[in-house]
Amino acid sequence: MSETMTELSLTLSERHTADFEMIGNGGFAPLAGFQGSADWQRVCDEMRTAAGDYWPIPITLATDLECEVGDVVALSSDEGKPLGRIRVEEIFERDVREEAEKVYGTTDEEHPGVAAIYEEGSRCIAGPIEVDALPDHEEAFMRRYLTPAQTKEEFERRGWKRIVAFQTRNPIHRAHEYLTKAALETCDGLFIHPLIGKTKAGDIPADVRMRCYEVLMEKYYPQDRVMLGVKPAKMHYAGPREAVLHAIVRRNYGATHFIVGRDHAGAGDYYGTYDAQKIFDTIDIDELGIEPLMFEHTFWCNECEGLASNKTCPHDQEAHLFLSGTKVREMLGNGERPPHEFSRDEVADILIDAYKED
């Protein structure tokens, strides 16, 4: 290795750090590194890698670092921790507007995912990575941190054959609790797998969410049939395509089933309420390797005196309790407890305290 090669180094952004970790820990299998132009183009066009595997969102390393094909670049996390290196096999320009249109369905820079790739720029370096270490996380996360290999071992130890995974980036409210338990009725175990990487402004901090998940598990789920992990990935807010990515990742972690709810991985009004479910109609589920479980919008019905959906409830909307995320955040910011029918009291207490600290 030449002296020039050993001197090259790059501090990754927070978003690229998350991608490095997901590639390095096996969560992004079959990816072995940051994708090149052939992968980028086919992922944008067909939701497949150049080799033909399902893959819905390009995982690229955008940088203006001066380097050449064949160089080895030392990589550090956004916090400066040495992680490993990338062997540069290609330097290419991606069309960020084409990526925005095909992957996110919009070129609007108000979309958080689109804004992120516009900010990163078009020039990318690609190649396989070598991993010396993974990024650091807070202790609250590390207590629950398991690699895909470790979760598979744990599922096997518990004797679980049918494992349903639940993706979330927000605290679990009563409607989410309802649908996870409905899924658990037909599975051996529930894998609650919240995302702890980069999210958009306004989302509840990850450490606060962890406390909410833990108190729910302790009080309202059977301990031998639920497991909590963490997914150290970033949010793209790519709606339907991100739902497919979330399913692939949970397959890699050992899940056999994956919950897809309303407006999965959406932002604003960019996607239809059930677009993230409809995209699976275009996919060969056997080839994908994990089965999506589709759930409709769930709510509290005063007439049913319980949680229900349009599939199970015959009553008019006047009987339904629905609170938007904006309304709930407004209530919490004012120290008001959301209705018991919407949120468990223990979760509301944690959130109210967190808002007071802000």
Per-residue pLDDT of the chain (358 residues; tens, 9 = 90+): 444 444 799 999 999 999 999 999 999 999 999 999 999 999 999 999 999 999 999 999 999 999 999 999 999 999 999 999 999 999 999 999 999 999 999 999 999 999 999 999 999 999 999 999 999 998 888 999 999 999 999 999 999 999 999 998 888 889 999 999 999 999 999 999 999 886 666 667 778 889 999 999 999 999 999 999 999 999 999 999 999 999 999 999 999 999 998 899 999 999 999 999 999 999 999 999 999 999 998 999 999 999 999 999 999 999 999 877 677 878 888 889 999 999 999 999 999 988 887 6
CATH number for 197 = 3.40.50.620
The active-site residue out of 169, 209, 241, 262 is 169
| Helices 345-357 + 206-220 axis angle, to 10 | 160
The verdict on whether omega for the bond into residue 240 sits within 30 degrees of 0, i.e. cis, is no
Judgement on whether residues 298 and 265 belong to the same structural domain of the protein: yes
Judgement on whether residues 209 and 256 belong to the same structural domain of the protein: yes
Judgement on whether residues 113 and 57 belong to the same structural domain of the protein: yes
Judgement on whether residues 145 and 66 belong to the same structural domain of the protein: no
Judgement on whether residues 120 and 199 belong to the same structural domain of the protein: no
Domain boundary among 111, 131, 151: 131
The active-site residue out of 170, 225, 329, 337 is 170
Judgement on whether residues 313 and 337 belong to the same structural domain of the protein: yes
Judgement on whether residues 97 and 147 belong to the same structural domain of the protein: no
* Residue range of the domain that includes 13: 3-131
Whole-model pTM above 0.75? yes
Q: Are 48 and 271 in contact (CB under 8 A)?
A: no
Domain boundary among 99, 131, 163: 131
Judgement on whether residues 106 and 254 belong to the same structural domain of the protein: no
CATH number for 120 = 3.10.400.10
Listed residue (248, 237, 261) closest to 291, CA to CA: 248
Judgement on whether residues 164 and 93 belong to the same structural domain of the protein: no
Domain boundary among 87, 110, 131: 131
Judgement on whether residues 50 and 148 belong to the same structural domain of the protein: no
Judgement on whether residues 174 and 231 belong to the same structural domain of the protein: yes
Question: 291-329: string of b/e by CB count within 10 Å (b at 16+)?
Answer: bbbebbbbbbbeeeeebbbeeebeeeeebbeebeeeebb
The first and second tokens of residue 271, run together, are 């996607």
Listed residue (235, 29, 18) closest to 136, CA to CA: 18
The domain tally of the chain equals: 2
Judgement on whether residues 53 and 92 belong to the same structural domain of the protein: yes
169 catalytic? Reply is yes
